[in-house]
A and B are shown apart, each in its own frame.
Chain A
Amino acid sequence: MLYFVARRLVSALSVVLVTLIVTFALFFVAPTDPAGAICGDRNCTQERYNDIKENLHLDQPLVQQFAGYTAGIFAGRTFETAGVKQKCSVPCLGFSFKNDRPVTQMLKERLPVTVSLVAGYAVIVLTIGVFVGSMAAKRRGTLGDRALMSSTLILSSVPYYIVALMISLYLTILYQILPRGGYTPITQNPVAWFTGLLTPWLVLGLYSCTQYARYSRGSMVEALSEDYIRTARAKGLSDRVVTYKHGLRSGMIPVITIFGLDIAGSLSGAIFTERIFDLQGLGNLVLDSLSNYDLPVIMGTVLVSSVILVAMNFLVDIAYSLIDPRVRLS
């Protein structure tokens, strides 16, 4: 088990490192001119331009820049703009080109929004999605099962952003059945946090629930046809215990695997959701900074997302090994 965790940790760190290198390289290879962007169009003298470049270390070779950036994450670094020294504390991800704020601080504001969104999403798909799928599997072949499965097929064939836009338009703006989206920190007002995120959660979660219901149904149908399910019934266990204890435990394994793969998808789903419901999360941040060529912010969000991704996959692996004793050793 210790070996398993250690091995996983090493591979997780290397994934983060590779992501970092690749994004860094991509943005610097791209034909952008961040110094020019900061300098602006009007009052930009060549002198000022060079100054900015120097302060941001943009004049250094790529490798050195990367080393500086990476060192900043662990040791912090100091930038100097027009004689004013700015201390960037650990973990330093640099300053936004656009508004000169530390990227770390910006991320700290935005991260809880996205994490809340994705966490709610995970809860919805893993409870409602799996439950609906299991129920359909238990009643497979019946009218209810078929109706459910065909409706999920219809729903999942409509692009996500259309569903989200329509719901936002009809259910929150025109008919105000659901509360308008908005983010209040959970520490400030848990109720407001909940109601503000309810609609985005439902939209993001329920849309993906259709997928999860299908996966779960498939894996539950398979699990319920196993010999050990027959054994469980032969022991005199009730149908409910057989389905939701013996069946679900095996049926969950493939669903969790898919969930691990789907986390990246849920993060990109969060981008749409934040845009549509106007939530100031990482998704909106990355969209804004992309249009501004705000390199440090883009780098920061990519880095944080990859850490989230790797961490979630790590958790999935742990969950996996807790459910299935056979994977513990390897």
Chain B
Amino acid sequence: MSETLLQVRDLKMHFPIKEAAGLGRTKKVVQAVDGVTFDLKAGASLGLVGESGCGKSTTGRMITRLLTPTSGEIVFKGTDIAQLKERELRPFRRQLQIVFQDPYSSLNPRQTVSNIISTPLRVHNLVPRGKELARVQELLERVGLNPEHHNRYPNEFSGGQRQRIGIARALAVEPEVIIADEPVSALDVSIQAQVMNLLEDLRRDLGIAFVFIAHDLGVVRHFCDEVAVMYLGKIVEQGSRDQIYNAPQHPYTQALLSAAPDLGTIRGVPPKERIRLVGDVPSPIDPPSGCRFRTRCWKAEDICATQEPLLEIKPQSSPGHTAACHFAEPKADLIAETA
């Protein structure tokens, strides 16, 4: 097996907030991410899935150290970068890149594409002076843009093309890991597939490992070999793509899969089984005790409120498939098979 590039251990991000209460102020804490652990192997792709507020993006930002974690370890090739200072971080920044969701706001509108892409090259002294343009053009071609367009500004490109520019910027420094934070969710359907295929080519050809953050289960299934499902700051289930999609064990994963609108459905034909969660995700300020999913779970019993389920391999599950649930049991047939 290939080497483990990144080990994330018990990562936490707690944001303090101030709230007025009566005549005083109470300090509360948003537990955005609360103990996330996973490994990423070289060239692998791990999907972080979950609904808004589950902490998937915060996790991505901590790994690239755009945020400093409250606690926990981020071991990248043997060094824990979780609490490193800006200067010590520099060599690692190059190897851990991020691609953002919004191709409109993540590129500086006053800089040419060439400038946007070559800035990291200069910052990290990667290309000798005078060779920068050649490298920029090579990168543009790599992401499927016309190299002649290096002098244009971001507003002259469509959403999908801008996302390609963002990818080229990340690629410029030859990273080993790319954190892709909802890279295609702002794009139109026909463009989404183009960008997905580009990312897949990069992974295959350049061996870049991906942490792929998305809410769209279809996109994740397509791109990732390993999937971690997050709910309210915690990973509730993790396993290979097949384990998660064909034999999900955690009730939340099952509900998520069942809720995803699917082409296989034809209106009026009831699916084999339909799971509908009631209510909304509780606030991460004051998450439910014990299992955080229990307030929306149809399997919840007393133990769920008192004892937090651990993310562990269940007796009935195949190797590497973990779930954090007292009543985990695999359930197939949640998604319609088109075949």
Contacts and interface: CB of A to CB of B under 8 A. Distances in A.
A–B contact, 8 Å CB criterion (strictly below): yes
Interface of A: 2-4, 6, 329-330
Contacts of A329: 19-20
12 contacts: A2-B22, A2-B23, A3-B20, A3-B21, A3-B22, A3-B23, A3-B24, A4-B20, A6-B23, A329-B19, A329-B20, A330-B20
Contacts of B23: 2-3, 6
A198 B128 CA distance: 74
Given A3-B22, A3-B24, 5 more contacts: A2-B22, A2-B23, A3-B20, A3-B21, A330-B20
Interface string B21-48: 1111000000000000000000000000
Interface in B244-268: none
A330 B24 CA distance: 11
Contacts of A2: 22-23
Q: In this complex, which of A3, A6, A329, A330 has the most chain B Cβ atoms within 10 angstroms of its Cβ?
A: A3
B55 to A, nearest CB: 25
Contacts of A3: 20-24
Q: In this complex, which of B20, B21, B22 has the most chain A Cβ atoms within 10 angstroms of its Cβ?
A: B20
A131 B23 CA distance: 39
Contacts of A6: 23
Interface residues of B, number: 6
B303 to A, nearest CB: 37
A8 B10 CA distance: 43
A2 to B, nearest CB: 7
A330 B23 CA distance: 11
A3 to B, nearest CB: 5
Contacts of B21: 3
Nearest to B18: A330
Nearest to B24: A3
Nearest to A328: B20
A6 B23 CA distance: 8
Contacts of A330: 20
A6 B24 CA distance: 11
Interface in B1-29: 19-24
B234 to A, nearest CB: 29
A84 to B, nearest CB: 50
A329 to B, nearest CB: 6
Nearest to B22: A3
A6 B20 CA distance: 12
A326 to B, nearest CB: 13
A4 B23 CA distance: 8
B267 to A, nearest CB: 26
B54 to A, nearest CB: 25
A207 to B, nearest CB: 38
A2 B24 CA distance: 11
A222 B24 CA distance: 36
Nearest to B23: A3
A69 B21 CA distance: 38
A135 to B, nearest CB: 33
A1 to B, nearest CB: 10
A4 B21 CA distance: 10
Contacts of B22: 2-3
B17 to A, nearest CB: 11
A21 to B, nearest CB: 28
Interface in B61-111: none
A320 to B, nearest CB: 16
B16 to A, nearest CB: 16
A54 B280 CA distance: 75
A112 to B, nearest CB: 37
B28 to A, nearest CB: 13
Contacts of A4: 20
A7 to B, nearest CB: 8
A286 to B, nearest CB: 39
A52 B212 CA distance: 83
A329 B20 CA distance: 7
A2 B20 CA distance: 11
Nearest to A1: B20
A4 B20 CA distance: 9
Nearest to A330: B20
Interface in B192-209: none
Nearest to A4: B20
Contacts of B19: 329
A330 B21 CA distance: 9
A329 B19 CA distance: 8
A2 B21 CA distance: 10
A273 to B, nearest CB: 41
